[in-house]
Amino acid sequence: MLTLRKHVLPSVLAVLVLSATACTSESAAGSRPNFLPEEVTSSPGRGATSTDPGIAAPRLGPASAVDARTVLEAFKGRGMVEHMEALQRVADENDGNRASGTSGYEDSARYVEEQLRAAGYTPVRQEFTHRPDGERVKTFNILADTEGSAENIIVVGAHLDSVENGPGINDNASGVAAVLETARWMKETGISPANRVRFAFWGAEEDDLDGSRHYVDELSAAEVRRTAVYLNVDMAASPNGVRSIHDGDGSDFEEAGPKGSQEIEDVLFRFFEGNSLPAETTPFDGGSDYEPFLRAGIPGGGLFTGDVESKTKAQMQAYGGVAGKNLDSCYHKACDTISNTNADLLKEMSAALAYATATYAMAPRG
């Protein structure tokens, strides 16, 4: 069950200061910046990392150049719904789905690449082979980088594929739309990132997270160290949904992310609090593309609006909707179409992703 939670950051976090820190990973020894507020400590993650609690942690405070209310206002008029409509058309033209290795996935990828190129990015395909039903199938991830220091890489991802028996519009054309508009918004507003942002559109998530697993497996030890955080968005427009953030420190659920994951949770809660919007935590349950990053010791977090869980009375009071009904009754079904989405919720979740992305992207090194 999701737990309603109001999360307040310490008022002392008023200055944006970032400095390099050191940590040791079982998978890759060396130093990596740790984006963690100074007065917040997170529980050790279940992934392959450990950190020295005596090392001074850098800080991200609310006095950054990113204003939560301004970002939300900007995203109220952005084109997330148009992206979902375009991916719905792709599915309609390709046997009703956009699964990895199919023509529907290829056409989905071309749409994403066209949008990225039009915004000024240079997308690349990272090819890999996966085995749905034991058959070797070639597919790919799409990656596009901003400018900024490669010493601190912020990966922002959503899976592009659908299940085979549906168009996958909430799951996960909604997440794709959020990532695309975050990328476009950063270009259009002239944000000059100090740290590099890598926008990722994963293939074969519906086949055991194969795309994100391949990406992480291909990272060198140095690249793992330089990956500061991973932000994930998987289902951002559930029709009876909630605003939920992954529980980075495990304080509400048993699973915690690597050190630094709590800070991601804090940044996302700060966005919703700044806009007087209720939000809650959701567990790291291994069910999305954050999992390979967490296992590699990379701090992770992100956004989720819900699937098969039933909405509680408390959630109905907080978010509206219908108590006792699934957050998404069409999860992994043919009815996961454009009509199975909540456009207002998508605007809020997309703005939250953009806020967190820009906050990390512009965090200066001390």
Q: What pLDDT is stored for residue 365 in this prediction?
A: 62
Whole-angstrom Cα distance, residue 332 to residue 304?
15
Confidence check: pLDDT of 178 > 60 = yes
Q: What pLDDT is stored for residue 64 in this prediction?
A: 57
- The closest alpha carbon to 291, from 229, 209, 224, 178, belongs to 209
- Angle at which helices 174-188 and 103-118 pack, to 10 degrees? 20
DSSP reduced 3-state for 352 = helix
The pLDDT confidence band at residue 185, using thresholds 50, 70 and 90, is very high
Please state, rounded to an integer, the average pLDDT across all residues of the chain. 85
- DSSP-H helix ranges across the chain: 68-75, 80-92, 103-118, 174-188, 210-218, 221-226, 261-274, 290-295, 313-319, 343-361
Confidence check: pLDDT of 130 > 80 = yes
pLDDT mean over 280-307: 97
**Which residue bears the tokens 């990656």?**
143
Give the model confidence (pLDDT) of 10-65 as tens digits: 222 222 323 322 232 332 222 233 333 322 223 323 233 333 322 222 333 333 56
Question: What is the DSSP secondary-structure string of 183-221?
Answer: HHHHHHTT---SEEEEEEEES-TTTTTHHHHHHHHH--H
Kindly list the distances between the CA atom of residue 79 and the CA atoms of 15, 245, 264, 306, 337, in Å, as whole numbers in the listed order.
33, 23, 25, 22, 17
pLDDT mean over 246-267: 95
Give the lowest-confidence range in 38-47, 107-116, 226-235, 266-275: 38-47
The pLDDT confidence band at residue 135, using thresholds 50, 70 and 90, is confident
Give the model confidence (pLDDT) of 299-351 as tens digits: 999 999 999 999 999 999 999 999 999 999 999 999 999 999 999 999 999 99
Q: What is the pTM of this model?
A: 0.84
pLDDT mean over 344-365: 94
The pLDDT confidence band at residue 71, using thresholds 50, 70 and 90, is very high
Which value, in Å, is the radius of gyration of the alpha carbons in the chain? 19
Pair type for strands 49-50 and 124-130: unpaired
Whole-angstrom Cα distance, residue 271 to residue 66?
10
Catalytic residue among 181, 205, 291, 309: 205
**Which residue bears the tokens 């794709």?**
176
Q: Judging by beta carbons within 10 Å of its beta carbon (0-12, 13-18, 19+), is residue 44 exposed, middle or buried?
A: middle
For 11, phi and psi rounded to 5 degrees?
A: -70, -20
Clarify whether 205 is annotated catalytic: yes
- The closest alpha carbon to 38, from 52, 59, 23, belongs to 59
Of residues 135 and 186, the one with the higher pLDDT is 186
Positive or negative CA dihedral for 35, 189, 351, 84?
A: negative
Q: What pLDDT is stored for residue 133 in this prediction?
A: 76
Whole-angstrom Cα distance, residue 83 to residue 177?
6
The pLDDT confidence band at residue 363, using thresholds 50, 70 and 90, is confident
Confidence check: pLDDT of 5 > 60 = no
Q: What pLDDT is stored for residue 289 in this prediction?
A: 98
Confidence check: pLDDT of 160 > 50 = yes
Q: What pLDDT is stored for residue 44 in this prediction?
A: 27
Of residues 283 and 23, the one with the higher pLDDT is 283
